[in-house]
Amino acid sequence: SQQGEEDPQALSIQEGENATMNCSYKTSINNLQWYRQNSGRGLVHLILIRSNEREKHSGRLRVTLDTSKKSSSLLITASRAADTASYFCATPYYGGSQGNLIFGKGTKLSVKP
Amino acid sequence: GAVVSQHPSRVICKSGTSVKIECRSLDFQATTMFWYRQFPKQSLMLMATSNEGSKATYEQGVEKDKFLINHASLTLSTLTVTSAHPEDSSFYICSARDRTQPQHFGDGTRLSIL
């Protein structure tokens, strides 16, 4: 069954605005990762947050993790047209030892100039 | 940062042919490589996991004889789609990691079978 589920499925904002995407998961995890995918390209790793962390920052990105609610959010501040992409959360397979990840369905972000 | 090169980026071929896709880690030794399939506007679905020098572990529903995976070295894994048919048309993405890093992805291969 799908582990990660993002919402919204699609988000359209103006340049300069903030974009917030949410991810929910079902099983216990030791970390959660966010990836970006530009159209027709591979995925780029953005940030990893461990289960004992509640918030993590990387540049204009802010990720939160609430293990009690089994949810995470990705905030992109002061968005730019170049941020237009699909964003996926990913969690390790339950019991997986090889780093296998389960990806959510993704949020398609469109930032209009 | 770590770089994974995937080749070719696009393939168009006739039904019945076999297609090989290469995935190379350029600046690190990939102890594990993954192969994913992505349908339009959908998420990535893991097809198989391969460790260097051992047989790949396939996910449920993925045909081993259809999708041949070889991980001959710590920097190269190949996926061969044998006797490809139009339903095999998709976007295939590889990723690689060593024990210390998150997965690094190739740019994908768009396979179109006519």
The residues on A that touch B, with CB distances below 8 Å, are: 33, 35, 40-45, 48, 88, 98-106, 108
**Residue B44 and residue A88: Cβ atoms within 8 Å?**
yes
Among the partner residues A98, A105, A108, nearest to B49 by beta-carbon distance: A98
Residues from chain B that touch A85, judged by Cβ atoms under 8 A, are: none
Confirm if B107 and B24 have CB atoms less than 8 A apart.
no
Q: Which amino acid is at B41?
A: K
**Residue A88 and residue B43: Cβ atoms within 8 Å?**
yes
pLDDT tens, B8-52?
Answer: 999 999 999 999 999 999 988 888 999 999 988 888 999 999 988
| 3-state class (DSSP) for residue B87 | helix
CA-atom Rg of chain A in angstroms: 13
pLDDT class of A94 with cuts at 50, 70, 90: low
Q: Is the pLDDT of residue A1 over 50?
A: no
**Mean pLDDT to the nearest integer, A54-58:** 97
Least confident of A21-25, B33-37, B49-53, B87-91: B49-53
For all residues of chain A together, what is the average pLDDT? Answer: 90
Kindly identify which residue of chain A lies nearest to residue B59, measuring between CA atoms: A100
| Integer Cα distance of B22 and A101 in angstroms | 21
Least confident of A8-17, A42-51, A96-105, B4-13: A96-105
